[in-house]
């Protein structure tokens, strides 16, 4: 009768350890039913679920493995596995799988504790934990405020996703971290289109406020902008009110404003890597085309859709031409771009911070509220507030080893 044995090996990592153990098992025609290996701080942890054939007794197999392990300076444990428990384990592979991504400037033990406690409360099993961020030196940690830390959990099981996301958001707000939760399906990595809001997303400014300051109507416009972003005002009406206040602004100030716009942390790194990985990128903005095209050239973005500020004799008229790009229009443009690129909506990503971004965030395969207002964070499926835009790469499953600095 075939014997099932779980072999667990730990010790200082060095070349040839896995090869040495598996070579012994090969001599006895052992079948490998499962295998996993991890390395933390030069320490190896190797697990092998072995099926020892009936023609080979387990005692000599395990004895030879034990001698080999001691020869290589490893600790080893053997645990018998019953056929019943093995079959129960096999049946568990059909359960839904999800990815939990914990992001912060640095990962504290309390964050790990709280995340894993919620996982346990909802009856989910953790299959794997990986660090996606690079190794960080402690010597100069205080000199670099923009460090990145990310841990990814692969979990399995059924759960109330709405309640689970609410609990993660609660903990994220309390601890000042980000916790993303998404289905682990075939669309997670092969996403091919990323659509960004512009103001307070790709750039750390609201362009219309900059224009208003130049026109001397900053306070009036800022008040309307904030109320619109909080969802208190209809976007189109508020937009038209703000643009009307810009009447008489000379067009030659636009270039200077564009050159002074601060690009959001991580934006250049993100778009550079997305382009290298074959993604298409787009700006879908309720702002203005002039600034969208400036960013398009600066960052290498593929598409820009925004509002055209009307000019007459080099002076702003206080109107825009064409259809206003509001929340509904952003969602429509996302659909149109997906169709143009011949991809499914599940392969799209939308990123924004305001209430008028929610329509596109809700239909995208991965919707991300970035440094967003509370209303938007609560209604988006995922949010990033602690890191820069390049934190999105972690949500796609890429580690710092996979991508350019």
Q: Do domains 3-91 and 95-183 have the same CATH topology?
A: yes
For residue 227, the model assigns a pLDDT of 77
Q: How confident is the model at residue 191 (pLDDT cuts 50, 70, 90)?
A: confident
The CA distance from 151 to 113, in Å, is: 13
Asked whether residue 1 carries a pLDDT value surpassing 80, the answer given is: no
For residue 204, the model assigns a pLDDT of 96
Q: How confident is the model at residue 228 (pLDDT cuts 50, 70, 90)?
A: low
The CA distance from 270 to 263, in Å, is: 12
Task: For residue range 106-150, list pLDDT tens digits in order.
Answer: 999 999 999 999 999 999 999 999 999 988 877 766 667 778 999
Task: For residue range 283-316, list pLDDT tens digits in order.
Answer: 999 999 999 999 999 999 999 999 999 999 999 9
Asked whether residue 33 carries a pLDDT value surpassing 90, the answer given is: yes
**Average pLDDT of span 329-348:** 97
CATH of domain 193-395: 3.40.50.1000
For residue 235, the model assigns a pLDDT of 80
Residues serving a catalytic function are 197, 199
The CA distance from 342 to 340, in Å, is: 5
Least confidently predicted of 27-41, 179-193, 282-296, 383-397: 179-193
Asked whether residue 226 carries a pLDDT value surpassing 90, the answer given is: no
The CA distance from 300 to 282, in Å, is: 10
CB atoms within 10 A of CB 393: 22
For residue 236, the model assigns a pLDDT of 86
Asked whether residue 57 carries a pLDDT value surpassing 90, the answer given is: no
For residue 375, the model assigns a pLDDT of 87
Task: For residue range 354-365, list pLDDT tens digits in order.
Answer: 888 999 999 999
Asked whether residue 56 carries a pLDDT value surpassing 70, the answer given is: no
Q: How confident is the model at residue 190 (pLDDT cuts 50, 70, 90)?
A: confident
Three-state SS across the chain? CCEEEEEEEEEECCCCHHHHHHHHHHHCCCEEEEEEEEEECCEEEEEEEEEECCCCCHHHHHHHHHHHHHHCCCEEEEEEECHHHHHHHHHHHHCCEEEEEEEECCCCHHHHHHHHHHHHHCCCEEEEEEECCCCCCCCCHHHCCCCCEEEEEEEECCCCHHHHHHHHHHHHHHHCCEEEEEECCCCCCCCCEEEECCECCCECCCHHHHHHHHHCCHHHHHHHHHHHHCCCCCHHHHHHHHHHCCCCCEHHHHHHHHHHCCECCCHHHHHHHHHHCCCEEEEEEEEEHHHHHHHHHHHCCCEEEEEEEEEECCEEEEEEECCCCCHHHHHHHHHHHHHHCCCCHHHEEEEECCHHHHHHHHHCCEEEEECCCHHHHHHCCEEECCCCHHHHHHHCCCCCCCCCC
Asked whether residue 188 carries a pLDDT value surpassing 80, the answer given is: no
Contact 208, 225 (CB under 8 A): yes
Quote the percentage of the chain above a pLDDT of 90. Answer: 79
For residue 93, the model assigns a pLDDT of 77
**Average pLDDT of span 314-338:** 95
- What are φ and ψ of residue 37, in 5° steps? -140, 140
**Average pLDDT of span 196-213:** 95
Architecture of domain 95-183: 2-Layer Sandwich (3.30)
For residue 143, the model assigns a pLDDT of 64
Least confidently predicted of 24-38, 54-68, 157-171, 337-351: 54-68
Asked whether residue 211 carries a pLDDT value surpassing 90, the answer given is: yes
Residue among 403, 400, 404, 405 at smallest CA distance from 151: 400
Q: How confident is the model at residue 234 (pLDDT cuts 50, 70, 90)?
A: confident
- Helices 17-27 & 58-71 angle (0-180, nearest 10): 160
Residue of 93 and 207 predicted with greater confidence? 207
For residue 91, the model assigns a pLDDT of 84
The CA distance from 239 to 330, in Å, is: 15
Asked whether residue 165 carries a pLDDT value surpassing 90, the answer given is: yes
Asked whether residue 89 carries a pLDDT value surpassing 90, the answer given is: no
For residue 268, the model assigns a pLDDT of 97
For residue 117, the model assigns a pLDDT of 96
| CATH homologous superfamily for the domain 3-91 | ACT domain (3.30.70.260)
Residue among 388, 385, 404 at smallest CA distance from 173: 385
To the nearest whole number, what is the mean pLDDT of the chain? 92
Asked whether residue 229 carries a pLDDT value surpassing 70, the answer given is: no
For residue 141, the model assigns a pLDDT of 61
Q: Where are the domains of the chain?
A: 3-91, 95-183, 193-395
């Amino acid at each position: 009768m075939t014997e099932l044995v779980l072999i667990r090996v730990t010790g200082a990592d060095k070349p040839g350890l896995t090869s040495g153990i598996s070579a012994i098992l090969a001599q006895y025609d052992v079948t490998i039913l499962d295998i996993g290996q991890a390395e933390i701080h030069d320490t190896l942890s190797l697990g092998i679920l072995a099926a020892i054939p009936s023609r080979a007794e387990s005692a000599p197999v395990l004895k030879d493995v034990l001698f080999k392990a001691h020869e290589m300076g490893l600790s080893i444990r053997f645990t018998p596995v019953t056929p019943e428990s093995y079959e129960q384990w096999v049946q568990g592979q059909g359960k839904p799988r999800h990815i939990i991504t914990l992001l912060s400037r640095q990962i504290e033990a309390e964050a790990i504790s709280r995340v894993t406690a919620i996982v346990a409360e909802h009856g989910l099993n953790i299959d794997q934990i990986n660090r996606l961020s690079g190794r960080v030196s402690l010597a100069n940690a205080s000199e670099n405020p923009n460090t990145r830390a990310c841990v990814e959990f692969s979990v399995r099981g059924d759960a109330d996703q709405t309640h689970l996301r609410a609990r993660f958001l609660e903990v994220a707000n309390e601890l000042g971290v980000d916790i993303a939760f998404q289905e682990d399906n075939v669309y997670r990595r092969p996403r091919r289109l990323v659509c960004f809001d512009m103001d307070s997303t790709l750039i750390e400014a609201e362009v219309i406020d900059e224009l208003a300051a130049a026109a001397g109507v900053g306070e009036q416009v800022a008040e309307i902008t904030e109320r619109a972003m909080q969802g208190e005002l209809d976007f189109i009406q508020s937009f038209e009110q703000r643009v009307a206040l810009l009447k008489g602004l000379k067009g030659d100030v636009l270039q200077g404003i564009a050159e002074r716009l601060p690009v959001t942390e991580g934006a250049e790194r993100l778009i550079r890597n997305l382009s290298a990985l074959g993604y298409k990128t787009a700006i879908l903005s309720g702002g203005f085309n002039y600034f969208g095209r400036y960013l398009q050239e600066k960052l290498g973005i593929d598409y820009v859709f925004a509002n055209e500020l009307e000019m007459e004799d080099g002076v702003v008229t206080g109107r825009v031409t064409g259809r206003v790009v509001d929340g509904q229009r952003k969602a429509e443009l996302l659909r149109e771009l997906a169709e143009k690129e011949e991809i499914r909506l599940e392969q799209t990503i939308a990123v924004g911070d305001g209430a008028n971004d929610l329509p596109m965030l809700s239909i995208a395969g991965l919707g991300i509220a970035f440094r967003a207002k509370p209303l938007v964070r609560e209604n988006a499926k995922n949010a990033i507030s602690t890191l820069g835009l390049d934190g999105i790469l972690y949500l796609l499953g890429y580690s710092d080893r996979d991508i350019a600095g």
